[in-house]
Amino acid sequence: MPKPLPLDDFRAVRIILEPDDFALSSGEEPPPWDLVDEKTWHGITVLPDDVSIRTSNHHGSLLKTLYDLWGAWIEAVGCDQDPLYDTILDAADEFQAVTFNALHGYYRQAFGCLRNALEQVIIGTYCQICCRVADFAQWRAGQAEISFGQACDGLAGASPIQPCNAHIQITLGDSIFNQRTKTSPGGWARRLYSELSDYSHTRPGFTNADMWASNGPIYVREAFVSTAKMYLQTSALCFILVRLGRPSFSLPQDALQAFGSAGMPLVKIVPVAYEYLFLNKS
């Protein structure tokens, strides 16, 4: 039978905010007028609550890393009202949702949020570097489409990208944006997006049920760690994209955790691109 957490566990008590805790407050809230019944409430919350306790029992340090990285994305927004400003804001919301979903065992949904974040930032970078500000405004207004592939194609041929791309090609025989061919899976951005799309589109082998091996949500260590690894890789790529779009961009301190300090293995291109873009003094 389910049992409540002891009250000396800080996770046992729910907290609600006062109206003046919000930046934009509409004043006092009315009293509850259609309160949910206890059976419905527990039916909705018991399983994800259970997962959140088990996850936070065993992954406190990793959860802190993901939370800190979300804070780094808020810091990265900056003040310039350029295409990256809006897309970083939207990506920050997605990164926040990744952590919440993964904490509660909704791993596939977390991967879907990562795909959204990557798509947002790469479109913002494309419009920034390729001077597509008018196209960006139409896209934001829902009057035009800009696909992920279109953004990658534009960035692959953009002159500001070529020095970094040449360095990665010489060092690793890899790229960030190159198209997929019969003999190549394409650049890092396309490979990562394709992998995230497997989850986003719930392809066979990539559903929640596949990760849970059950109905759920339930806590699965391997699934949570895989989500966290993909969060770090997606954050690393997105920070690199921001640097390409804003050459004067400096990484927030907490963003460094996406580049190796979180104790997770990195894909080979991450340190190569990081060193060239953020540590290269020439």
pLDDT tens, position by position, 41-82: 999 999 999 999 999 999 999 999 999 999 999 999 999 999
Predicted confidence at residue 266, as pLDDT, reads 87
**pLDDT greater than 80 at residue 223:** yes
Enclosing domain of residue 115: 10-20+47-279
Query: In this structure, is residue 79 part of a structural domain?
Result: yes
For the ranges 25-34, 172-181, 273-282, which has the lowest average pLDDT? 25-34
Report yes or no on 117 lying in a domain.
yes
In a domain, 1, yes or no: no
- Please state the domain count of the chain: 1
pLDDT at 260: 85
Nearest-10 Cα torsion for 4, 8, 9, 13: 70
The answer to whether residue 5 is domain-embedded is no
User: Residue 172 domain-assigned?
Assistant: yes
Tell me the mean pLDDT in the region 203-209. 94
Long-range contacts of the stretch 139-144 (C-beta < 8 A, 24+): 140/86
155 located within any domain = yes
Mean per-residue pLDDT over the chain, rounded: 94
User: Taking every pair of C-alpha atoms in the chain, what is the biggest distance, in angstroms?
Assistant: 65
164 is a domain residue: yes
Q: What is the mean pLDDT of residues 127-148?
A: 96
Confidence tier at 183 by pLDDT (50, 70, 90):
confident
Q: Please indicate whether residue 260 or residue 248 has the higher confidence score (pLDDT).
A: 248
d(CA 176, CA 158): 12
Cβ contacts of residue 174 below 8 Å, gap of 6+?
A: 168, 187, 188, 268, 269
Length of the chain counted residue by residue? 282
Q: What is the pLDDT of residue 262?
A: 66
- The runs of H, that is alpha helices, within the chain are 38-58, 60-76, 83-103, 107-129, 133-140, 148-156, 162-172, 188-200, 208-212, 221-245, 269-274
Task: Tell me the residue type at 194.
Answer: S
Give residue 282's pLDDT.
59
d(CA 8, CA 67): 24
Q: How far is CA 98 from the centre of its chain?
A: 6
**Distance, CA of 91 to CA of 77 (rounded, Å):** 10
Instruction: Give the closest residue to 239 by CA, choosing from 229, 253, 225.
Output: 253
Whether residue 198 lies inside any domain: the answer is yes
